Amino acid sequence: MSADTTVRLSRPSAAVARVTLCRPDVRNAFNDEVITALTQAFRALDADDTVRVVVLAAEGPAFCAGADLHWMRRMADYTRAQNLDDAAGLAEMLRSIAGCRKPTIARVQGDAYAGGVGLVAACDLAVAVDTAQFCLSEVKLGLVPATIGPYVVRAMGPRAAQRYTLTAERFDATTAQRTGLLHEVAPAEALDAAVQALVDALLAASPQALATGKRLLHEITGAPLDAALIARTVEFIADARASDDGREGVQAFLGKRRPRWQA
C-alpha cells in the first residue's frame, strides 16, 4: 500500500493478509481517506491470488467508532449531489469487503459503533473480545444506517436489526453473537487464538470452493425457493464438480491424501 498511515496492510503469513485500521486516537473513525484506503486494500487483495484469507483488524481500545467528527462537520455543508457522491464511496468500500472473493474475518478488539458495525457485518466471519459494545447510533443524530443496512440485516436478521436501528441501544458482545453479528466471543487474551482457529479452518478448504461458496450464499440468501433457485444450485454443484479444485479434492479424498491446497 501507499504511505497512507490510516490503514496498514501486512502479511502475517504467505496466504493470510491483515488490513488494520490505524487511527486509535479517534477510535478508528473513518473519513474519506480511510474509505479510499480500505477500498483500495480490499480490491488489491481480491486480485492477489497468493492471498487466501483476509483479517480486518484495528489498533487501540476501539474497533471503529463510525464516522470521523471532522468529516461529519464537512458533510454538514454538502449539497445533495455531494452527499450522494460521498455516500457512494462508503457504499463501495463496504461492497469491496463483502464482495471480496477471499473469506474475510473481522477481529473486533473493542467497541464498534454505527459504520463500525457495518464493517463487522460486511465481513464473512466475526470474532470479538467479550467486553466489546455495539451500537447503531445513527437515529440519535437524525441519520439512518443506510449504506450499512443491507449488511447489518443479513448478519443480524431483520427483527434484531429493526430493534437496534430504531432504538439505538447499545448491546454487548453476547447479544451480538446471539443475533448473528458475531460468530465467536472470547476474552482479550484468547482473541487471537479464536481468530487463528478460523484462519486455519479456512486455509484447509479449497480456495476455488470458498470463492464459489461466497457467490452461492450471496445468490440464495433471501431468494424465493422456486424452480429458478433450484436450477441455479444444480449449476453451482455441477460446475464445482468439474472445477480443478473439485476434481483434486475428490481424488485426494479417494486416494487418502492431502489436496494440493493443504500441502
- Indicate which residues carry an active-site annotation: 138
Q: Is the backbone of residue 183 left (phi > 0), alpha (psi -120 to 50) or beta? A: alpha
List the strands of the sheet with 170-172, edge to edge. Answer: 62-64, 111-113, 133-135, 170-172
| Cβ within 8 Å of residue 40, ≥6 positions away | 1
- Gap between the Cα atoms of 140 and 144, Å rounded: 9
Q: Residue 134 phi/psi, 5° resolution?
A: -130, 150
- Gap between the Cα atoms of 184 and 198, Å rounded: 10
Nearest-CA neighbor of 65 among 18, 12, 132, 7?
A: 132
Q: Are 52 and 102 in contact (CB under 8 A)?
A: yes
Residue with cell 474475518: 105
Q: Map residue 200 onto helix, strand or coil.
A: helix
